[in-house]
Every structure is written in structure tokens, then in C-alpha cells.
Amino acid sequence: MAGHTITEKIIAAHAGRDEVAPGDFVYADVDIALGNDITAPIAIREFEAAGARQVFDRTRVVLVPDHFTPNKDIKSAEQSKILRDFARKHDLTHYWEVGEVGVEHALLPEQGVVGPGDLVIGADSHTCTYGALGAVSTGVGSTDLAAAMATGKVWLKVPSALKFVFTGKLDPWAGGKDLVLHTIGQIGVDGALYRSMEFCGPVIEALGMDDRLSMCNMAIEAGGKNGIIVPDGVTRQYVTGRAEREPVYYTSDADAVYEKTYQWDVTGMGPMVACPNLPENVKPVGDLKNVVVDQSVIGSCTNGRISDLRIAAKILKGKRVAKGCRCLVIPATQEIYLAAMREGLLETFVEAGCAVSTPTCGPCLGGHMGILAAGERAIATTNRNFTGRMGHPESEVYLSNPAVAAASAITGRITHPKDVA
């Protein structure tokens, strides 16, 4: 009998089964059910319409108001109030207000709310981020979230798996964001549709947790059901002292069955950029040196962590943002904000002419604090560049790593960081 992937093992354990196979439908226990200020109000309405009186576990239903917060208008304030009132009514352990909140997919790993071996569902497509910790995590609709909040369970179809093996040695200016952009560029935005994307190989093993989180975050941009990395020493070091539940470390069997295996030698691969209007439209940064940008955004659940800010600050130190270009820097959590302040990174950003924001998803989804007008163009460390994603449908978004975004802010055009460092 063939072995099993890490994703299959985690789903089987949560479904109370010895094993599962791709295509199986299971009714599985969830460790965390997550909602935000856009999706949770719908879930709460359905939860109450169904007659549910209490959540299945007040420590495992998580609400994070991060998309339109700090509230940009009356409607967003009312959305956030629905979360606040529900959290108080059910005495939820995990609810954060402005001043302590962070971008959800940076906040939950940081606070130890999610961890290895977990099965996590969230009414947000980028819930797949937590696979970097060795968890199975996936986005669901708001009605699925409502059911999970009441029952602690979710229906799942077990995905088949794709394996991505990275060998060689990356260019020093490239990292996890570039690896996942390369992947999406190779297989397309539907190349992993409802598949598990398992990232492995010596290049992945050499990545820090922040880069791994960036990679798994964007699995959904290839259509993936989840992205996942088998836990190792980097994982154990990250979760030690922060995990609120005992981690369970799973691995993939040597004879696990994969629908397809991709193997790429990425030696010398430099920074990659996804051009409008799909994440699969990927080109090397050097091919885009004549593209002028009006705005640079450094932040989001993809690249707003402390290592990202350190990279950006290294580029911006002693330099100025180009006239006619706006540079927004958004630490993804309050802890990251505080660390950046203590390390002097925020001073570097402000002196360079950047605007530094409290944690928010704001500009990534065209919500607030960085909306583009018609004809404007942004380079961003975010995860999506669909038509109108960051504002007007006639604006454009290019996706990059933090070093490229910072270098481009200095020159006002898409720039390789080695050209300004």
C-alpha cells in the first residue's frame, strides 16, 4: 500500500480515520475557525439564523478585524462592531482591537494560535498561509465558517497533491516571494486547482519562516487548496515558546503518491515580478526597468513581517523616495511595528519619505490607505494584481519582493535592488 502525504495524514487524523485518499469526502474536526471584518459578519448572521446558541469552543473561534480597519467609514465601522459584539457575547479568547490587531495571517502564527498538525479553516482565501508551519489550512465561504463556528467541523474533499522540489542556490536578492512567483508563472493561476501544493528541497530547507509563510500564502494564486511545508528544525524553533497547543509534527512518506512532481534548479534566479493583471504573468525584474510606478506598497499578509521590513530598510537607508512616487510601509502586526521601531527601521522609512501605517490590509484589496486612481501604477509586496485590485479598474499592480519594491520607490520605476544598494 502506498504511503501518504502530510496533507492526507493531517486530514485523516482530524476525520478520525486511519487513512484518506484523494477524492474522499470527510467530515473533519477543525482546530481554528477564522473570520475577518469582511467575511465574519455574514457568518455571524448565518450562525444566528440557524439558531445556534453558542460557539463550539470559545478558544478556537478567531475574529480579526483587519481589512478595513482602522475603520475607514460608517459601513466598515458597523462591520467591525458586529465582530466586537459577537466576541463579547461569546467571550472569545482570540479577538483583537485596533491597537493590538494585526493582519490576520501574520498575527495568528506570531501569537501561536495556529501550529504544526492543525486543521485550520478561514473565511479568507489566504488562510493557506499556515501550511508553512506544517498545518493544513484553507479558505472557505462564510456559510462554511458559520457551520464550523457552531459545530467545530467542516466538510472537505481530500485534494490530490503536487510536489515542488527546489534545488540550487538563489540570487542573494531573491527569496520565498520569488520562488512562489516563479512557481505560479510556470504552472499558471489554475495549475494547482484544488490540489495540495507541497514545497520541498534544499532551497526550501534553507528558507526562514517568514519566506515560507510568503510561499504558502500564495498557493491560492495557483488555485491550490492548500500550500504546505513539512516541519523541520526551522519550524520547531519558530513554534517553541509561542504555540498555545502542543504541536503535532507530521511528514510525508517516502512513497507518498503525487499527481505530479516539479523540480527546478533555481541557481542564480533573481527577483521576479508578476505583471498585470494575473499573478502568472511573471517576468525577471530586469525585463521591466522602463516601467514607471506611482506607488510602492511594502506590507500585507505576504510580505509585511520583520525580515521584509529589514530588507526594505536596508535598501532605503540614507536614500529618498523619488519625487512623484508614494511609498507606503505597513508592518503586519503591532509586535512587528514595535520591533521595527526599536531597531530604527521606522526612522529610516520616515527619513526616506515613506508613509508608515498601523497594521491593516487596506491597500492590498483596494480598501483604503493606498487606493490607485485611473492610469496609476503600483509595485507591491501583496499577493494579487487583478484588474482593479488596488483601486480604479484602469490602474495597474505589479507584484514583487520587498527589496524590489523599496528599490523601485527610490527610482520611481521598477528596479533591481542591486542597482541602488
Report mean pLDDT in 10-residue bins for the chain, 421 residues.
93 98 98 97 97 97 96 96 98 96 98 98 98 98 97 98 97 97 98 98 98 98 98 98 96 97 96 97 96 98 98 98 98 98 98 97 94 98 96 97 98 97 83
Report in angstroms the alpha-carbon separations of 365 from 31, 97, 123, 223, 421. Answer: 27, 20, 15, 18, 30
Which structural domains are found in the chain, ordered by start?
Answer: 6-263 (3.30.499.10), 273-419 (3.30.499.10)
Residues 6+ apart with CB under 8 A from 89: none
Say how far apart CA 2 and CA 263 lie, in whole Å: 22
Give pLDDT, residue 241.
95
What residue type is assigned to position 326 of the chain? R
Q: Nearest 5°: CA angle at 293, between 291 and 294?
A: 155
Say how far apart CA 395 and CA 366 lie, in whole Å: 11
Say how far apart CA 227 and CA 415 lie, in whole Å: 29
Q: How does strand 282-284 pair with strand 272-274?
A: antiparallel
User: What sections of 324-418 are H helices per DSSP?
Assistant: 334-342, 345-351, 402-411
Say how far apart CA 217 and CA 215 lie, in whole Å: 5
Give pLDDT, residue 2.
84
What does the chain come to in residues?
Answer: 421
**Strands in 240-363 per DSSP E:** 260-265, 272-274, 282-284, 295-298, 326-329, 355-356
CA-CA-CA-CA torsion sign (97, 103, 108, 112): negative
**pTM (2 decimals)?**
0.96
Give pLDDT, residue 327.
98
Q: How many beta carbons lie within 10 A of that of residue 215, not counting itself? A: 29
Using CA atoms of 160, 302, 275, 363 in order, give the dihedral in degrees to the nearest 10. 130
DSSP 312: H
Residues 181/382, Cβ–Cβ less than 8 Å: no
Which residue is associated with the grid cell 520583520?
306
